[in-house]
Amino acid sequence: MRMEELSKLPPFRLRPWFSPRPWGSRDLSPWYDVSREQEPIGEAWLTGDQCVIDTGVLSGRTLGQAVTEAANLLGAESGRFPLLVKVLFPFDKLSVQVHPDDQKAQQLSGEPTGKTECWYVLDARPGASVALGLNPGVTAADVRRGIDDGTLEDLLRIVPLEKGDMLYVDAGTVHAIYPGAVLLETQQNSDLTYRLYDFGRGRELHLDEGLAAMRIKTAAGKVKPQTSNCNTALIESEYFRIDSFCLEGAQEAVALAEHLTARPGVPAILFVATGECSLQVEGGQFLLHQGQVAVVPQRSGNWKLQAEEACQLICMTPGRP
């Protein structure tokens, strides 16, 4: 039977795909037992097309292949899974960059979607920060001069980070990530990035596109969480909603199930921030350890979540239902 003929699809676990970056780290513990002697790893892609499914009937396929075969179950549009989720490990500064919105992405790059994203701070050392937007009064001409004379950083708004912070980064925001934090990034499924400044590392810059995509004022910044019973709503935007559940027993697992029931017609991504849990699905069960994700298709049948000890689970769903 072909996958598109299935009426439902049980949740499944995805294997991370690790992307080397010059600003990354060679030690990803305690999140992942991975080491690189040559190239540091900057990003663990958790729902990329390259990520391999390692449980259930789809085992061995990549997520990209599964989307091609079962788009109706995975909520895929334009041949893409709706959200790209990553864990970022900055050991050095990322470039100063900007992402286009949907309209600018189509105009500048011919891509169907832009890149609005958010960052949940999984861990942060004292003094960790990001650059998020421009200081008041900065103009587009100031940005261009700052690129030319190497003073662009002086024009950026610096935001200190603490573990548990949620930050919204809407498309058009000039930003940079600095060392000292581990970030869970949820974004539109696009990798469009226009570099404005790269600290002399010699990588390609995209000044015309970046300046065209940049907006002087954006809605970027920290988002105040909203807690109700077992659920903490971290952020809700046009493109994604993210909630945190601290599982310590059956009540919290029921709260998560009810949360997903209230958002029908969209897939969900479950990420283990601390601890571990198990998913019981039709035909068996599988574990989720810290740093792993499971995808719950939009029509998934019966499944059950259990945690023997305290487990923080981040639930990501696309858009508003």
Domain boundary among 222, 237, 266: 222
Asked if the structure places residue 75 within a domain, the reply is no
pLDDT tens, residue by residue, 56-65:
989 999 999 9
> What span, in angstroms and rounded, lies between the C-alpha atoms of 82 and 297?
12
The pLDDT > 90 percentage for the chain reads 75
Domain containing 309: what range?
226-318
Domain boundary among 177, 201, 222: 222
CB-hemisphere CA count at 13 Å for 14? 30
pLDDT tens, residue by residue, 166-215:
999 999 999 999 999 999 999 999 989 999 999 988 899 999 999 999 99
Q: Return the pLDDT at 228.
A: 79
Same domain, 40 and 181: yes
Token pair in block for residue 251 = 């009540």
Q: With 90 as the cut, is the pLDDT of residue 120 above it?
A: yes
Same domain, 268 and 213: no
Q: Return the pLDDT at 1.
A: 38
Read off the CATH number of the domain in which 164 is found: 2.60.120.10
Q: With 50 as the cut, is the pLDDT of residue 49 above it?
A: yes
Asked if the structure places residue 12 within a domain, the reply is no
Domain count, the chain: 2
pLDDT tens, residue by residue, 77-113:
767 899 999 999 999 999 999 999 999 999 999 999 9
Other CB atoms within 10 A of residue 37 CB: 6
Same domain, 151 and 300: no
Question: CA 234: distance to chain centroid?
Answer: 13
> What span, in angstroms and rounded, lies between the C-alpha atoms of 244 and 252?
11
Same domain, 165 and 302: no
The pLDDT > 70 percentage for the chain reads 95
Q: Does pTM surpass 0.75?
A: yes
Q: What is the mean pLDDT of the chain?
A: 91
Asked if the structure places residue 5 within a domain, the reply is no
Average pLDDT rounded to a whole number, residues 139-165: 97
Average pLDDT rounded to a whole number, residues 281-287: 89
Domain boundary among 222, 237, 263: 222
Token pair in block for residue 97 = 């960059």
Average pLDDT rounded to a whole number, residues 135-146: 96
For 217, counting Cβ atoms within 10 Å of its Cβ (0-12 exposed, 13-18 middle, 19+ buried), the class is exposed
Q: Which of 299, 313, 294, 319 is nearest to 63 (CA)?
A: 294
